[in-house]
Amino acid sequence: MGRRKRDRKRRFDENDGGVPITPMIDVVFLLLIYFVATVEPIPIFAHLNVYTPSSDAPPKEKPVDPPSLIRIEVHAEGFTFDGVPVNSRQLDGFLGTLARASKTQSVLIMCSLSAPHGQLVEVLNYCAKHELTNLSIMDAK
């Protein structure tokens, strides 16, 4: 009886070393892998589609009434909207008004060769903002 008591005491002493942390680490790493695999990164980049009008496109046999064309010029100094000089905010407003009337409105963007690329992207951004998709880009002299 006394010996059994001693054995039980010894076993208890051996297991008293602390909580086994190995399974916990295993599970923590599995959770880490799960979260890394399922995380959805915030989108950083965007793509703006470019449409360049082609002169050799075959003409349609029965053209439907073509919508009137809005012309935006992009220069190094700023923008013009149908020949009227405008700043970024005004351009945004005009395009918004245009989009409220018709989102399929044709917009011709004429970009000066000396204009920085950022200016053109700004115009495309406003068009994307107002969901104007019928865009064409041309070079202006």
- DSSP state for residue 62 in the 8-state scheme: S
Please identify which residue in 93, 121, 134, 136 interacts with other proteins, judged by CB under 8 A. 121
When computed from its CA atoms, the radius of gyration of the chain, rounded to whole angstroms, is 33
- C-alpha 77/C-alpha 86 separation (Å) is 10
Q: Is residue 57 a contact point for other proteins (CB under 8 A)? A: no
Q: Is residue 134 a contact point for other proteins (CB under 8 A)? A: no
- Residue appearing with tokens 């399929």: 104
Question: What is the nearest approach in angstroms of other proteins to the Cβ of residue 122?
Answer: 7
Compare residues 106 and 112 and give the one whose CB is closer to other proteins: 112
- C-alpha 101/C-alpha 103 separation (Å) is 7
Q: Is residue 111 a contact point for other proteins (CB under 8 A)? A: yes
Question: What is the nearest approach in angstroms of other proteins to the Cβ of residue 32?
Answer: 7
Closest CA to 136 of 86, 66, 88, 76: 66
Site map (CB under 8 A) of other proteins, residues 3-42, x = contact: --------------x---xx--xx--xx-xx--xx---xx
- C-alpha 37/C-alpha 131 separation (Å) is 34
Cα separations (Å) of 128 from 37, 51, 122, 133? 32, 13, 10, 7
Compare residues 106 and 125 and give the one whose CB is closer to other proteins: 125
Q: Is residue 108 a contact point for other proteins (CB under 8 A)? A: no
**List of residues contacting other proteins (CB under 8 A):** 17, 21-22, 25-26, 29-30, 32-33, 36-37, 41-50, 52, 54, 74, 111-122, 124-126, 128-129, 137, 139
